[in-house]
Amino acid sequence: MNRPRLPLTAASLLAATLLFASGHARAEEKSLLAPDGTVYTVRSGTAGDLAVSGPGIRPDDNLIEWTSLAQDGKRRLGVIPNTISHNPKLNLDLAFDEQSASLVLLWKEELSVLNVLHLGVYKQGVWKQLDLLPNLGFAHAYNPGMLLSHQVVHWIDENGRDAWKTRSLLSVIWWEESQYAQARYAPIFLDEDTSANDVPVYDLPSMVGGGGVPTSYDEIPPGAYLYPSLQLEGPGGAILASFADLATKKQYVARIAFPTDLGTAGPSTKTSLRRRIPVVGITMQGPVAMNLPSDVSSPILTIVGPTYNPTLIWSQEKAVKFIRYDVVSGKWSAPRAIAVTETMSVEKAMQLVQEMATRN
Amino acid sequence: MSERRKHLEFLRKTAREAIWAGDYERALTLYDDALSLARSWKDRDLEDLFTCNRATTLIEMDRQDFDLSRLKEVLLRNPSSYNGVLAAYVSANAHEARGEYAKARFYAQTALAKARDLGEEELTGTSLNLLASLELHESRFEAARGLFEEALERLESEGESLSRQAAVAADNLGYCHIALDRMDVGVPLVERSLSVLDRLGARQAMDYPSLDLCFAHVKRNRLDDAESWGIRALGLGKEFGRDDVVKNSHYLLAETYSEMGRESQADEHYEALASYYPSFPALKHYLRQISLMEVINLRA
């Protein structure tokens, strides 16, 4: 079918989001400690809830406020530009890139028939907004996540000498339901002057040779596809994207890297122009995981191990559970569980499973 | 076209489809989203357009919870572009809906002049119709007649003579003639309008033409015809919940039966009409004594 129908659980999530959108009674907050000791905090909610006032701001306007507290006690605060509107702003996520001294904020703006993802980049005292455009239609983004990575690149400078620098890459991944239901990916180079109009967004199934065909949910549990994830491959700077493709009913782990040799200096040389084009390789493909719970009240965490086989982890009914993909048999394991007891907290159980998944 | 524009145009197209389907709530939701995105993406041109579209949708829904000053701001910022003309036109509609006829007339004249300057055919036509309707509302029948004539000529020259819009304009023009006692010109125009509307299956739009023919026949003392068209207008008014049509029908039928000497039937309609004005208990007796046929304006 062309226009996928929301499965029950995804529809429930959407309903909850819309309920929140109309209720607008809760503020959301996120904090981050930068390497220089500055604490950044962002809060979203109505101006009334956040006690923010100013010219043109109505108490029922939704906005995002930011504050910073430096080691010398200096405090800065303000409203992030272009965030004042009737629409709720949710799913705040923060990251700080020391290399480019950039604070990055990711959020989701809930409109009525669609939602959109925005990125705010705070650099040298100025906020800049970038938009991650959805596909055409009534698109809804779910579970956006971001990951910072760094990559050493080489080029020949104006004097013909070898030169190296470290590039900062912010990768964003999310699940989107519009014409097709699929995972999407956007790379943003924080050390370059990216404008709001030139953030490329890729359909992940297309990056592994599929995509562009109708998708259907069939009996696939929502947890198997709603939480695409990103992970660093290692110090080389490549990242691993784990996602499900509903058209082929496959689970993929894709390695995404960018050219490290930029050739001769100059923004218009061919090699330089290729610097933002992702180089993608499939490191794992298998059947989509069917033995996940249909209830996705807790998020599904993905850890890709050293042999690129993923482990999917979730918390359910006083237990932390996981399944692993077995490359030899080409199958997913049955769910395994660690019971949560007085001596085994959820956090501890999660940590144990993550350590196991990372090492195996 | 940029990716952002594609998104906004998609929302605009979908909202227009919702309006054509009569689903104003959905259209409003879509315009709200489109307006938010246009603001967020700093597309001032489409933001202005969606501001006008949204206000128009609310007016269609008999709602006035929009900021009229925003429309005036769009007009001031765009004195010689499509959005400016549209803002003037929507402002005129908004003032009309609020019963502020002098202001409505001013903005309708502004919209008409600017639309003509820019050669915006569709907006010229709709502004002409609006201005003519406002003149009619103020009982300036001769001024209204000239405007409706031009509106009708424009539609005919565009090959739209058998459209719903042309039929409504023909009816209004016919009514102007009837009000000016030019029955020989007015009645055929209204009959032509009814014929087109009937062919188009636009039953709801046939209420005023029916009323106009009833009015003309009362004036000509053709009372059997007046009764027939009055009953038809009353039925349509009740069917589609149009109080203005129902009230006018009751009055014209009461006058018809009164002239026919059928006092009890006349009384029924006077009473039905009086029930709309509980704070004027003597209305029924007043109307029995004084005929308003010479001063009545069915479009007021």
Return the pLDDT at A17.
Answer: 38
- Looking at the partner chain, which of A86, A112, A134 has a beta carbon nearest the beta carbon of B29? A112
Across the range A240-252, mean pLDDT stands at: 96
From residue B230, alpha-carbon distances to A43, B130, B210, B218 in Å are 65, 26, 7, 10
Return the pLDDT at A297.
Answer: 74
Dihedral angle of Cα A103, A104, A105, A108, to the nearest 10 degrees: 170
Q: Tell me how far apart the alpha carbons of residues B255 and B269 are, in angstroms, rounded to a whole number.
A: 9
Q: Tell me how far apart the alpha carbons of residues A157 and A174 are, in angstroms, rounded to a whole number.
A: 37
Determine the residue of chain B that is closest to A87 in CA distance. Answer: B36
Percent of the residues in chain A that have a pLDDT greater than 90, as a whole number: 68
Contact A38, A70 (CB under 8 A): yes
Q: Is A137 on the interface with B (CB under 8 A)?
A: yes
CA distance B71 to chain A (A): 17
Q: Is B39 on the interface with A (CB under 8 A)?
A: yes
Across the range B224-249, mean pLDDT stands at: 95
Q: Is A205 a residue whose pLDDT tops 60?
A: yes
Q: Is B154 a residue whose pLDDT tops 60?
A: yes
* Mutation for A interface: B1, B3, B42, B65, most A CBs within 10 A: B3
Q: Is B6 on the interface with A (CB under 8 A)?
A: yes
Give the least confident one: A257-261, A354-358, B197-201, B293-297.
B293-297
Q: Is B25 on the interface with A (CB under 8 A)?
A: no
Task: Give pLDDT tens digits for A64-80.
Answer: 999 999 999 999 999 99
Q: State residue A243 phi and psi, 5-degree precision.
A: -160, 165
More confident residue, A19 or B170: B170
Q: Is A7 a residue whose pLDDT tops 70?
A: no
Q: Is A18 on the interface with B (CB under 8 A)?
A: no
Q: Is A199 on the interface with B (CB under 8 A)?
A: no
Contact B250, B242 (CB under 8 A): no
Q: Is A82 on the interface with B (CB under 8 A)?
A: yes
Q: Is A267 a residue whose pLDDT tops 70?
A: no
DSSP A10: H
Q: What angle do CA B287, B291, B292 make, to 5 degrees?
A: 95
Return the pLDDT at A11.
Answer: 39
CA distance A194 to chain B (A): 15
Return the pLDDT at B175.
Answer: 97
Contact A308, A326 (CB under 8 A): no
Q: Tell me how far apart the alpha carbons of residues A175 and A225 are, in angstroms, rounded to a whole number.
A: 8
How many C-beta atoms lie closer than 10 Å to residue A334's C-beta?
Answer: 8
Q: Is B244 on the interface with A (CB under 8 A)?
A: no
Q: Is A288 a residue whose pLDDT tops 60?
A: yes
Task: Give pLDDT tens digits for A90-127.
Answer: 999 999 999 989 999 999 999 999 999 999 999 999 99
- Looking at the partner chain, which of B4, B7, B39 has a beta carbon nearest the beta carbon of A85? B39
Across the range B93-102, mean pLDDT stands at: 94
Using 50, 70 and 90 to split pLDDT, how confident is the model at A18?
very low
Q: Tell me how far apart the alpha carbons of residues A300 and B57 are, in angstroms, rounded to a whole number.
A: 43
More confident residue, A13 or A124: A124
Contact B263, B257 (CB under 8 A): yes
Q: Is A4 a residue whose pLDDT tops 70?
A: no
More confident residue, A158 or B109: B109
The structure tokens listed for A92 are 């705040």
Q: Is A237 on the interface with B (CB under 8 A)?
A: no
The structure tokens listed for A211 are 């995509």
What ipTM score was computed for the predicted complex, to two decimals? 0.78
Across the range A195-222, mean pLDDT stands at: 87
More confident residue, A54 or A239: A239
Residues of A in contact with B7 (CB under 8 A): 133-134, 136
Across the range A251-258, mean pLDDT stands at: 96
Q: Is B3 on the interface with A (CB under 8 A)?
A: yes
Return the pLDDT at A296.
Answer: 66
Write the burial class of residue A211 (CB in 10 Å: 0-12 exposed, 13-18 middle, 19+ buried). Answer: middle
Q: Tell me how far apart the alpha carbons of residues B95 and B71 are, in angstroms, rounded to a whole number.
A: 11
Percent of the residues in chain B that have a pLDDT greater than 70, as a whole number: 100
Task: Give pLDDT tens digits for B5-57.
Answer: 999 999 999 999 998 888 899 999 999 999 999 998 889 999 999 999 999 99
Contact B111, B78 (CB under 8 A): no
Determine the residue of chain A that is closest to B14 in CA distance. Answer: A137
Q: Tell me how far apart the alpha carbons of residues B196 and A204 are, in angstroms, rounded to a whole number.
A: 56
Return the pLDDT at A26.
Answer: 61
Q: Tell me how far apart the alpha carbons of residues A26 and A23 are, in angstroms, rounded to a whole number.
A: 8
Residues of A in contact with B13 (CB under 8 A): none
A-contacting residues in B 40-69 (Cβ below 8 Å): 40-41
Provide the H-helix boundaries in A166-323: 204-207, 270-273
Return the pLDDT at A23.
Answer: 41
Task: Give pLDDT tens digits for A124-176.
Answer: 999 999 988 888 889 999 999 999 999 999 988 888 899 999 999 999 999 99
Task: Give pLDDT tens digits for B120-131.
Answer: 988 998 899 999
CA distance B77 to chain A (A): 19
Instruction: Identify the bridge partners of residue A148 per DSSP, sorted by sequence position.
Output: A170
From residue B202, alpha-carbon distances to B17, B159, B205, B240 in Å are 19, 19, 6, 12
Return the pLDDT at B96.
Answer: 94
Return the pLDDT at A274.
Answer: 79
Hey, are the CB atoms on B33 and A112 less than 8 Å from each other?
Answer: yes
DSSP A274: G
Q: Tell me how far apart the alpha carbons of residues B124 and B10 are, in angstroms, rounded to a whole number.
A: 26
The structure tokens listed for A150 are 């760094």
Please tell me whether the overall predicted TM-score, pTM, comes out greater than 0.90 for this model.
Answer: no
Q: Is A133 on the interface with B (CB under 8 A)?
A: yes
Using 50, 70 and 90 to split pLDDT, how confident is the model at B292?
confident
Mean pLDDT of chain A: 88
Q: Tell me how far apart the alpha carbons of residues A198 and B29 are, in angstroms, rounded to a whole number.
A: 29
Contact B287, B295 (CB under 8 A): no
Residues of A in contact with B29 (CB under 8 A): 112-113
- Looking at the partner chain, which of A87, A133, A136 has a beta carbon nearest the beta carbon of B36? A87
Q: Is A113 on the interface with B (CB under 8 A)?
A: yes
Q: Tell me how far apart the alpha carbons of residues B73 and B78 are, in angstroms, rounded to a whole number.
A: 8
Q: Tell me how far apart the alpha carbons of residues B231 and B247 are, in angstroms, rounded to a whole number.
A: 12
DSSP per residue, chain B: --HHHHHHHHHHHHHHHHHHTT-HHHHHHHHHHHHHHHHHTT-HHHHHHHHHHHHHHHHHTT---S-HHHHHHHHHH-TTSHHHHHHHHHHHHHHHHTT-HHHHHHHHHHHHHHHHHHT-HHHHHHHHHHHHHHHHHTT-HHHHHHHHHHHHHHHHHTT-TTSHHHHHHHHHHHHHHHHTT-HHHHHHHHHHHHHHHHHHT--GGGHHHHHHHHHHHHHTT-HHHHHHHHHHHHHHHHHTT-HHHHHHHHHHHHHHHHHHT-HHHHHHHHHHHHTT-TT-TTHHHHHHH---TTT--TT-
CA distance A113 to chain B (A): 7
